[in-house]
Chains A and B, each alone.
Chain A
Amino acid sequence: MPANTENTTKMAPGRAAAVEALRDVARVPGSPKPDPILVADQVSRQFGGLKAVDVTHVEIQRGAITALIGPNGAGKTTLFNLLTGFDNPDTGEWTFNKTPVAGKAPYRLARMGMVRTFQLTKALSRMTVMDNMLLGASGQSGERVFKALLPFTWKAQERANTERAMELLGRFNLDAKIDDFAGSLSGGQRKLLEMARALMVGPEIVMLDEPMAGVNPALTQSLLGHIKNIREEGTTVLFVEHDMDMVHDISDWVIVMAQGQIIAEGPPDAVMKDPQVIEAYLGSRHGSALTADGASLTADSQGGTT
């Protein structure tokens, strides 16, 4: 397979490790991974008569960038909601770092290191960009009501958090906006802020629901760089995206959903050539590949998203 026969020596170490680890993984839905951070079994969720999610088995490799793709309404966001505890499944068990976490409150999962962003961006409008960021920091003693009134107990921690926030905001080109209300940011800037805020938590896995939607092409490139950096720093990334060029560019592994089920898995090149995947996206009449150089899916798939 092309992606795996690439010379791993000229890759960044994180990428090389991910490619190496996934080299021998079977390219079938639900295939076991060598070092999964997240393992889910029989997760299903029904809305009225519609089975929005029906995942038999899925594993997410630690330290890799995994893309979750699929047509509109495939159940990607619903799966995110279930795994992060924001929605309750009808059936299913899943483990995070080998700990069973089904039924755990979403804030507990976030504290354990599983942090998600939302498809419809949730910037805290009437708070400044900096306050948005600081809210992300975990383990703040000043957030305890009895210590809140004693600033000397939390000032040092606040300074350290502010510094870390500045560094992250710089990376996401938001450092000029720290004192602006988050509600005054543009749609794309809010996406960036939400991602930076999620990283403030110090997650082990970040789950990004369409992080690139509405971000301009010039910035997309640097954002791709940031996401790759996140992996190089050892954080696992699971993201939903419709832009196939981008998926192709940064992901180590791709999982394809359609009608609630996982229909294919594999490295980006292989998955985008999979006839089943092409059919799910374009309908059976189309025969072309989904890769960047082939007939690109990018333009067609953008329409109904966000």
Chain B
Amino acid sequence: MDIGQVFTLTITQAFGVTALIYLFAAIGLNIQFGYTGLLNFGQVAFVAAGAYAVGVIVLTFDLSLWLSIVVALITSTLLALLLGIPTLRLRADYLAIVTIAASELLRLLVRSIAFKDVFGGAQGLNGKLGQEFHDLNPLPVDFTLPLLSWSRQDLWVVIVGWCLALLFTLFVWGLVRSPWGRVVKGIREDEDAVVSLGKNVFVYKLQALIIGGGIAAFGGILWAVAKQSVQPDTFQPDFTFFVFTILLLGGAARVFGPIVGTVIFWFLLAGFGEVLSSLINNGYIAFLTPTDVGSIRFMLMGLGLMLLMIFRPQGIFGDRRELALDAR
């Protein structure tokens, strides 16, 4: 068993493209759920909106990738309005139900035969989606990393992705320490109290939903650009649940919570996978086959989460004092 190789593979995934996609979704969810208390169980729909905006604009309509970024943001804003306007005046749980239903509805819509010409049906949209982005790659053509196993193309995505993620984190930091952030935190604590102080709670919730959705849409854009393919069935509800897991892992309502959560989540998930694979391949675990690894690593992940919730329910970055206040 090559410990060095297991380690580099794990690190590659913990900071890699897929992790970044989840990170954007988690930064958005942190505004919505962590700070404002909105139970958005359909975050994957915003990611899908971003990815499909790229797919449709670049592939179906043969227009520029840069235009698709604008379209992605408009689409995710419209989606937030569509989900938010009817539900945000109602009790919190309505948003949860509507968002999870809407995200599934959207997925079934884009994979339907009826819209195959636009969205590509069940196969989705595959082609040179990120060409304009990859053309800008400044790395030398024969570039290879010494330790990590990113391709030249992936490394370019990873570099830009992490810069953007840090930028968004900075953006969130600025927002939540402002009076605007104070209002949304107040809404999370007790909506009626904030209303009684003369704040239009509905508008703030809508703003939080739009901002969080917009950041998540960047995850979708990244997805389309990096994987050069947009497929409907990758946008299942479990994506949203993993994003929640990430957020709770890192600590909700912490500026660095999503980053910490994402890296740990993917480090553990990839780590379990790599360690298990290499143990099986070297004959240490005879009763398992390499194909079992995929599901077993999620089981181990679940176990780890349970332990975390028992021993550190506030997440890695959370403040236990705050959690204790909930009980009162």
Whether the pair A116, B196 counts as a contact (CB closer than 8 A) is yes
Q: Nearest-CB distance from A300 to chain B (Å)?
A: 30
Interface segment out of the listed B107-115, B146-154, B172-180, B219-227:
B172-180
In the complex, what residues of B have CB within 8 A of residue A136's CB? 197
Whether the pair B189, A198 counts as a contact (CB closer than 8 A) is no
Interface residues of B in 166-186 (CB under 8 A from A): 171, 174-175, 178-183, 185-186
Q: Nearest-CB distance from B315 to chain A (Å)?
A: 14
Most chain A C-beta atoms within 10 Å of own C-beta, residue among B189, B190, B328: B189
Whether the pair B196, A106 counts as a contact (CB closer than 8 A) is yes
Q: 21 A-B pairs, CB-CB below 8 angstroms?
A: A86-B195, A106-B195, A106-B196, A107-B198, A110-B197, A118-B193, A125-B326, A127-B186, A127-B189, A142-B180, A143-B178, A143-B179, A143-B180, A148-B174, A148-B175, A154-B178, A154-B179, A181-B321, A183-B325, A197-B197, A201-B198
Check: B60 CB closer than 8 A to any chain A CB. Answer: no
Check: B201 CB closer than 8 A to any chain A CB. Answer: yes
Interchain pairs with CB closer than 8 A, number: 110
Task: Using CB atoms and an 8 Å cutoff, list the residues of chain A in contact with chain B.
Answer: 84, 86, 105-108, 110-111, 115-118, 122-127, 131, 134-136, 138, 140, 142-145, 148-149, 151, 154, 158, 181, 183-184, 194, 197-198, 200-201
**Chain A residue with Cβ nearest B190:** A122
Whether the pair B181, A122 counts as a contact (CB closer than 8 A) is no
Docked pose: A111 CA to B200 CA in angstroms: 10
**Chain B residue with Cβ nearest A197:** B197
**Chain B residue with Cβ nearest A132:** B186
New A-B contacts (10) at CB < 8 Å, excluding given A126-B185, A131-B185, A201-B198:
A105-B200, A106-B195, A107-B200, A110-B196, A123-B193, A125-B189, A126-B325, A135-B186, A145-B207, A149-B178
Docked pose: A126 CA to B36 CA in angstroms: 12
Interface size on B, residues (CB 8 A): 31
Docked pose: A135 CA to B178 CA in angstroms: 11
Docked pose: A118 CA to B201 CA in angstroms: 18
Check: B238 CB closer than 8 A to any chain A CB. Answer: no
Whether the pair B325, A184 counts as a contact (CB closer than 8 A) is yes
- Residues 194-217 of B, flagged 1 when their CB comes within 8 A of A and 0 if not, give 111111110000010001000000
Q: Nearest-CB distance from B126 to chain A (Å)?
A: 37
Our pick among B174, B190, B200 for the contact of A124 (Cβ within 8 Å) is B190
Check: B93 CB closer than 8 A to any chain A CB. Answer: no
Q: Nearest-CB distance from B275 to chain A (Å)?
A: 38
Check: B192 CB closer than 8 A to any chain A CB. Answer: yes
Whether the pair B197, A126 counts as a contact (CB closer than 8 A) is no
Check: B135 CB closer than 8 A to any chain A CB. Answer: no
Docked pose: A122 CA to B211 CA in angstroms: 27
Check: B117 CB closer than 8 A to any chain A CB. Answer: no
In the complex, what residues of B have CB within 8 A of residue A140's CB? 179
In the complex, what residues of B have CB within 8 A of residue A143's CB? 178-180, 182-183, 199
Which are the 3 A-B pairs with shortest beta-carbon distances?
A183-B325, A142-B179, A110-B198
Docked pose: A181 CA to B194 CA in angstroms: 17
In the complex, what residues of B have CB within 8 A of residue A125's CB? 189, 325-326, 328
Whether the pair B196, A183 counts as a contact (CB closer than 8 A) is no
Q: Nearest-CB distance from B297 to chain A (Å)?
A: 34
- Residues 299-326 of B, flagged 1 when their CB comes within 8 A of A and 0 if not, give 0000000000000000000000110011
Q: Nearest-CB distance from A97 to chain B (Å)?
A: 16
Our pick among A84, A131, A142, A151 for the contact of B196 (Cβ within 8 Å) is A84
In the complex, what residues of A have CB within 8 A of residue B175's CB? 145, 148-149
Whether the pair A117, B179 counts as a contact (CB closer than 8 A) is no
